[in-house]
């Protein structure tokens, strides 16, 4: 199973995702803002970052760019509200691995993660 960093400015969103991912046997870390997230990425080198698009302070897109600059083997999955779907699609060009929309379908999320993790395992 993977090492996953959940980044969302809403603590309850982080908690729910953490609980779910823990249930699925992943190693889960959380961050409530961009700078914390970047520090965590350097610290724990996660396989996957679940990154909220809209956050106060540093936006998800900016966090994504910086993570990509680290040149770690870290995949980023953007999490966005439906209305921002078009913006999320554009993050794929910036190097995001995928995007999922809020409300998050946990079953779908698990599939996305598994696909990436299996990919990496190969």
CB of 37 or CB of 50, closer to another protein: 50
Interacting residues with another protein between 32 and 61 (CB under 8 A) = 54
Token pair recorded at residue 66: 């910086």
The residue (of 43 and 85) whose beta carbon lies closer to another protein is: 85
Question: Least Å distance between CB 111 and another protein?
Answer: 14
Q: How far apart are CA 53 and CA 82, in angstroms?
A: 11
Q: How far apart are CA 19 and CA 69, in angstroms?
A: 30
Contact status, residue 3 vs residue 50, Cβ threshold 8 Å: no
For residue 10, what is the DSSP state? -
The smaller minimum CB distance to another protein, of residues 16 and 94, is found at 16
77 binds another protein (CB under 8 A): no
Query: Interface with another protein includes 20 (CB under 8 A)?
Result: yes
Helix (H, G, I), strand (E, B) or coil at 7: strand
Which residues form the interface with another protein (CB under 8 A)? 10, 12-13, 16-17, 19-20, 23, 54, 81-84, 102-107
């Amino acid at each position: 199973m993977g090492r996953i960093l959940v980044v969302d400015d809403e603590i309850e969103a982080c908690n729910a995702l953490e609980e779910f991912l823990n249930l699925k046997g992943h190693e889960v870390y959380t961050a409530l803002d961009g700078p914390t997230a970047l520090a965590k990425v350097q610290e724990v080198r996660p396989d996957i970052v679940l990154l909220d698009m809209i956050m106060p302070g540093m936006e998800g897109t900016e966090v994504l760019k910086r993570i990509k600059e680290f040149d770690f083997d870290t995949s980023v999955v953007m999490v966005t509200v439906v209305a921002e779907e078009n913006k999320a699609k554009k993050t794929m060009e910036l190097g995001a691995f995928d995007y999922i929309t809020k409300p998050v379908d946990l079953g779908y999320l698990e599939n996305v993660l598994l696909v990436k993790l299996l990919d990496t395992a190969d």
